[in-house]
Structure 1
Amino acid sequence: MTEAERGDNATLFPQPVGDRLRAARERQGMTLAEIGARTRVPLRHLEAIEGSNYSLLPSPTYAVGFVRAYARAVGEDEVVMARDARVEALKTPREKPQYQPYEIADPTRVPSRGLVIAAAGLGLAIVVLAILWFATGLIRSEGSAPDVTPSVAVAVPAAQPSAAPALSATGQVTLTATDEVWARVYDAANETLYLGTMKPGERFDVPPGANNPMINVGRPDKLQVTLNGSMLPPLGTGERAIKDVPVGAAALAAKVNGQPTPAAAPVAATQRTDTAVPPAFAGAPGADASADRRDAARP
């Protein structure tokens, strides 16, 4: 078979994404564990991608995000790989949830008619006795002279709200994942401090000496932020991804204390093409398609 014939067959019958990624990994002499360490994607999900078994992944959106990270790690075109992976994932049948029929309550547990009538009669008797008791009390109070006690107005000082102690502008900022969430933490020089997918319960301590650390995160509502052990409000509602949000101790303390945020040095504009939030982890609908358009427009 000539090279032209092999090229035509590759076009008509393209290899699955998993086979292409495995071949690229083997050409570089890398193991699947090394890919997992670089991308922070669970090993079981990488094995499912190489086996083209997308039914073992949480959703087609997650599959596309994992394939992007895998392709980036082995130097393949992540846009092409993500596009082909989406087509394969949508063709993969997924198991439908099994619904259990609703169990009707046992009729023998319903109170009998006689018991209901007896309870209603007892309630009516209580109401009648209560009315008679109040009526006799009013009659007795009308027959006796009321005791008039002069009222004295006493000024009560208004309670002063106690001010909450201000947070310290220095200390340790810790990011803890409450669910599987993608995040990138970087400093003012655009040097990556953390990049990958955090598993539930996994935490990352922001270096206290980092220069204006910031974060890009797809689901900020899945990320718990603490400063010196004190829990802070979420970075976002999770309706959309956020980026370039300061996570330094000084910036977070100023935000909680209602003080102006300290002026931060601008983030370096170089090498920003890999800092976008992967559409697989974006919170807003439609973010996947817009990210693909941005990636396709890159030189």
Structure 2
Amino acid sequence: MPMVGEQLASAREAKKWGLEDIARLTKLRSDQVLALEEGRYHVFSAPVYVRGFVKSYAKLVNIDPAPLLEKLNGELNKDKKFQQAESLTGPQRGLIEWCAYALSRVPWKIVVPLVAVLMLIAIFV
């Protein structure tokens, strides 16, 4: 079965449209359209953009986007840039980072006067 980009290019050629026509209708640059058709997904910054562009392109040339997107997921997994999604939570924090974060969240306008009052009471009692 042909790759996603090849299917899109074939559908575009069947409609006798050029790269510029697709670029104008999808609001992409013609080099981005060519990259999609050639399967050079690494030129895009994130897989979400590739999926969105493929979906728009497929609808434009009257292809059902669902099977294309399934095939696209397999193709994207082969690209090293898109294999591992970055963690949304970041790395686990250690004890020091957690303490620093906790102290940064303390309402100091309340704590400092309270500590000063407690120290004065301790001194005079």
- Interval of TM-score (by shorter of Structure 1 and Structure 2): 0.5 to 0.7
Q: Which has the higher contact order (CA 8 A, sep 6+)?
A: 2
1:55 aligns with 2:60: no
1:34 aligns with 2:21: yes
Q: CA RMSD in A?
A: 1.5
Deviation at 1:94, TM superposition (A): 2.3
Give the number of equivalent residue pairs: 82
Residues 161-176 of structure 1: pairs in structure 2 closer than 5 A: none
Deviation at 1:86, TM superposition (A): 2.1
1:67 equivalent among 26, 42, 54: 54
Residues 8-47 of structure 1: pairs in structure 2 closer than 5 A: 14-47=1-34
2:76 equivalent among 86, 89, 94: 89
Q: TM-score, normalised by structure 1?
A: 0.26
Q: TM-score, normalised by structure 2?
A: 0.61
User: Would the aligned equivalents of 1:60 and 1:90 in 2 still touch at CA under 8 Å?
Assistant: no
Question: C-alpha separation between the residues in 1 aligned to 2:14 and 2:76?
Answer: 25
Structure 1 segments, 4+ long, off by >6 Å, are: none
1 or 2, which has the higher strand percentage? Answer: 1
1 or 2, which has the higher helix percentage? Answer: 2
Structure 1: tracts of 5 or more residues without a match: 1-13, 96-299
Structure 2: tracts of 5 or more residues without a match: 83-125
- 3-state SS of paired residue (2:21): helix
- Greater radius of gyration (CA): 1
Which residue identity does 1:28 align to in structure 2?
K
The C-alpha deviation readout for 1:233-279, integer Å capped at 9, x for no partner, is xxxxxxxxxxxxxxxxxxxxxxxxxxxxxxxxxxxxxxxxxxxxxxx
The C-alpha deviation readout for 1:133-163, integer Å capped at 9, x for no partner, is xxxxxxxxxxxxxxxxxxxxxxxxxxxxxxx
Deviation at 1:44, TM superposition (A): 2.0
Question: C-alpha separation between the residues in 2 aligned to 1:86 and 1:42?
Answer: 23
Percent identical across equivalent pairs?
28
Deviation at 1:61, TM superposition (A): 1.2
